[in-house]
């Protein structure tokens, strides 16, 4: 019997038609027979972190239901990045699309290619703010983690509400994060 899990991912883009890359990545994922995009966040424009000499990013998060295992999902996400022209020249550098697997329901994972939960998601407002829109209270461990991290990070500098994808009618609207 194949187990279906909820997974949470971060999406970012800072080259070209940034919102189109986010939308296209979601559609490519949705079109996979073992993935259903169930919730998407608003889109936030964010200042670059790490390597700062580059354009601002558009960031968002999505919740998906999948029967793929964590390594299989990661490989599909990397293939999606390649299809959308991602080039890895500079660490934290400019990119057409960046997909990060943040969390998979009730799963802690450690391999050479993947660590779950994502080790730095609690340090990044550009992940936490949109993630707070899609995580449900019933996902207790993640919900409490996001709530706690948002309460400890200083200010909301460098992150601005930008928009919502215009073509998200096929995705379930984001849920508000409740205190």
65 is annotated as an active-site residue:
no
Q: Catalytic one among 18, 19, 39, 95?
A: 95
Nearest to 53 by CA among 7, 91, 99, 105: 91
* Catalytic hit among 5, 20, 100, 164: 100
Give the tokens for residue 71. Answer: 């390594």
- Closest to 135 in 3D by CA, of 43, 45, 41, 67: 41
Angle at 33 between CA 76 and CA 88, to 5 degrees: 15
Strand partners, 103: 8
35-40/57-66 β-pairing: antiparallel
- Which of the residues 98, 120, 160, 179 is marked catalytic? 98
Of 86, 112, 120, 164, the catalytic one is 86
Cα–Cα distance for residue pair 14/48, rounded to 1 Å: 9
Question: Does residue 20 carry a catalytic annotation?
Answer: no
List the catalytic residues.
Answer: 86, 95, 98, 100
């Amino acid at each position: 019997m194949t187990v279906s899990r909820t997974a949470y991912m971060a999406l970012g883009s800072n080259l070209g038609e940034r919102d189109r890359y986010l939308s296209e990545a979601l559609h490519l994922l949705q079109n996979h027979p073992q993935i259903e995009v169930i919730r998407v966040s608003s889109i936030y424009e964010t200042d670059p972190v790490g390597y700062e000499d580059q354009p601002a990013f558009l960031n968002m998060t999505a919740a998906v239901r999948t029967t793929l295992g964590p390594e299989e999902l990661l490989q599909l996400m990397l293939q999606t990045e390649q299809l959308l022209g991602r080039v890895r020249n500079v660490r934290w550098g400019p990119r057409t699309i960046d997909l990060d697997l943040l969390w998979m329901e009730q799963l802690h994972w450690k391999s050479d290619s993947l660590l779950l939960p994502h080790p730095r998601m609690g340090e990044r407002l550009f992940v936490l703010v949109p993630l707070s829109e899609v995580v449900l209270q019933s996902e207790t461990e993640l919900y409490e983690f996001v709530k706690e991290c948002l309460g400890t990070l200083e200010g909301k500098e460098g992150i601005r509400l930008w928009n919502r994808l215009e073509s998200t009618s096929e995705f379930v609207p984001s849920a508000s994060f409740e205190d």
